[in-house]
Chain A
Amino acid sequence: MSVLDMIGPVMIGPSSSHTAGACRIGLLARAILDATPEKAAITLHGSFAKTGRGHGTDRALVAGLLGMKPDDGRLPDALAEAERAGLALSWSEGNLGNLHPNSVRLALDGEGRHTTVVGSSIGGGVVEIVEIDGVGVRFGGARHTLLVGHEDFYGAIATVTRVVADDRVNIAALSSNRDRRGGEAVMCLELDARLSGEALAWIARIHGMNWVRMLPPVMDEG
């Protein structure tokens, strides 16, 4: 943690958890979709549902979906920006289960892709993505994050980490989860640097890998 995390970050108010954190969840969800979202069905949970509007949580989430960072001066006008950008929004409130009170589910469609992401803003602007397309995950977007959706097969993790090692990138944290044995699994590697495009293409070509995403860090504001 740097001194710049304590006097900082620079952000649009009013709340690190309800505004800046919400924006980061939106940014990560957009990166997971890996496309310009055209439709977003947003379900607010807990305190996001109860106090979200007075905190600008709705605008912050949408700002993130539009690719804005938490310090972007256009954040307060994100709902109007969404209309201009052709992003159709639908809102609901719901109980997403035993999650942090500041949580949201974003079901996104864009450029023929679809993904559903659940994220929580766990305090001070720090966020956690906890579910992607029904599979439990856990990462905060503080580092470069490599996500790989794959069939649950023998040696999947070893295969991917070998490519990462060959690309000379350090792995800071690694986790993996699956919806059931032999089903769909998501592996999540937090890295010290971006993987090269070549390495990403390699991973995508490995048999049994369904999708690969390289997410940028979202904790450092502009």
Chain B
Amino acid sequence: MAGFTLRELEAVPGRASEWVLEHDCAETGADPEAIRRTMRERLGLMRASVTAGLASTEKSLTGMVGWNAHGLWSAADVLNAPLLRRVQAYAMAVNEENARMRRIVAAPTAGSAGTVPGALLGVADHLGIGDEALVMPLVLAAGIGQAISRQMHISGSAGGCQAEIGSSAAMAAAAVTELLGGSARACVHAATLALANSIGLVCDPVGGFVEVPCVSRNAFFSVHAVCAAQLALARLESFIPPDEVVGAMASVGRMLPPELRETGEGGLATTPTGLAVTARVRGDGS
């Protein structure tokens, strides 16, 4: 099978992202400079989504979200935790732009598009790191997604939210770890810790729309990714080896009933409020 395992990636002596890029180009025949250029453009688009999302209070298509990122960003930082606030606000900014039908970068999906920029841009801005240093960590994030997708299709309908936002958190964790100088091994373990601690997360969007809980879930799991990076940078590792953790996530995904895989027929979606909102949204207009 094409691609690579996390075990191979963690053994890389140099920068994990460089290895991913070489591997990708060898497999697809793409030019590494062209990939870097496209990644840089996508980073720019992520940046634009964050900026637009923080400023906007326009409601989404269904009206369930649209004010969260701006609300947090303009609130007082009562915890005196600027990194936390920044990461959460950035993540929600991107997802609220997504829910408004604006142009976004799927990372790896549209529903999870906020986690990677939330964590990576949030940490970089907090520490005053320029955007050019974020391009290769994004490549690594993509590489982690590729390794996960060998065992589980990355979508809420295939494996629940653990497969979607869990994967995005793993990708973000590795990216932040590399940004802060972590070895390939540390990056892979950051990803693994993030994924291991997302196992079981179900996909239960109200009405089947990518809004509730998706917007706040991106906020939470971008912070989750930063936590995983923090552990891995302190050389803490996942007790269960990386590919086995992916396998565990995949097996739990297959056990999840369809009601908890993006159908909007379980969990938060079937709460009385969830059902009432769904009926209203589906009923009006057309």
List the interface of chain A (C-beta within 8 A of B): 1-17, 19-20, 47, 50-51, 53-56, 59, 71, 73, 75-76, 91, 101, 123-125
- Min CB distance A92 to B, Å, is 11
Known: A14-B209, A73-B103. A4 touches B111 (CB 8 A): no
Contacts A3-B21, A7-B39 given; does A12 touch B102 at CB 8 Å? yes
Contact A14 B105, CB 8 Å, known A6-B145, A51-B264, A53-B286: no
B47 proximal to A (CB < 8 A): no
Residues from chain A with a CB closer than 8 A to the CB of B142 are 3-7
Q: Which residues of B contact A7 (CB under 8 A)?
A: 39, 42, 105, 107-108, 116, 138-139, 141-142, 145
Minimum distance in angstroms from B232 CB to a CB of chain A = 20
Tell me the residues in window 14-37 of chain B with beta carbons closer than 8 Å to chain A beta carbons. 20-21, 24, 28, 30, 35
Contact B62 A54 (CB under 8 A): yes
Q: Which 10 A-B pairs have the closest CB atoms?
A: A13-B98, A3-B142, A6-B145, A6-B142, A51-B208, A123-B155, A76-B101, A54-B209, A14-B210, A7-B142
Partner of B24, one of A2, A13, A53: A2
Residues of B within 8 A of A (CB): 2-3, 20-21, 24, 28, 30, 35, 38-39, 42, 45, 60-62, 97-111, 113, 116, 138-139, 141-143, 145-146, 149, 153-155, 157-158, 171, 207-211, 263-264, 281-282, 285-286
Residues in chain A near residue B210, CB distance under 8 A = 13-15, 55
CB distance from B188 to the nearest CB of A (A): 16
Q: A2-B30, A3-B24 are in contact. Are A10 and B104 (CB under 8 A)?
A: yes
Across-interface contacts of B101 in A (CB, < 8 A): 12-14, 19, 56, 59, 75-76
B124 to chain A, nearest CB (A): 15
Asked whether A3 lies within 8 Å of B110 as measured between CB atoms, the reply is no
Q: How far is the CA of A194 from the CA of B62 in the complex (A)?
A: 41
For residue A217, give the distance in angstroms from its CB to the closest CB of chain B: 14
Q: How far is the CB of B246 from chain A (nearest CB, A)?
A: 14
Binding site secondary structure of chain A: mixed
Q: Which residues of B contact A71 (CB under 8 A)?
A: 103
* Distance A54 CA – B45 CA, assembled complex (angstroms): 24
Q: Quick check: A15 and B282 within 8 Å, CB to CB?
A: no
| Residue contact A11 to B138, C-beta cutoff 8 Å | no
Give me 12 A-to-B residue pairs in the complex whose CB atoms sit less than 8 angstroms apart, sorted by A's number.
Answer: A4-B38, A6-B171, A8-B42, A8-B106, A10-B45, A10-B106, A14-B210, A51-B209, A53-B61, A54-B281, A55-B61, A55-B208
- Complex Cα spacing A76 to B38, Å: 24
Question: In the complex, A47→B45 CA distance in Å?
Answer: 30
Q: How far is the CA of A54 from the CA of B110 in the complex (A)?
A: 15
Cα distance A1–B108 when bound, in Å?
A: 12
A6 to B175, CA, bound (A): 13
The complex places the Cα of A56 from the Cα of B142 at a distance, in Å, of 27
Q: Verify B110–A11 contact, CB threshold 8 A.
A: yes
Chain B residue, CB-CB nearest to A59: B101
A6 / chain B contacts, CB cutoff of 8 Å: 107-108, 141-143, 145-146, 149, 171
Given the interface contacts A1-B146, A14-B209, does A124 sit within 8 Å of B155 by beta carbon?
yes
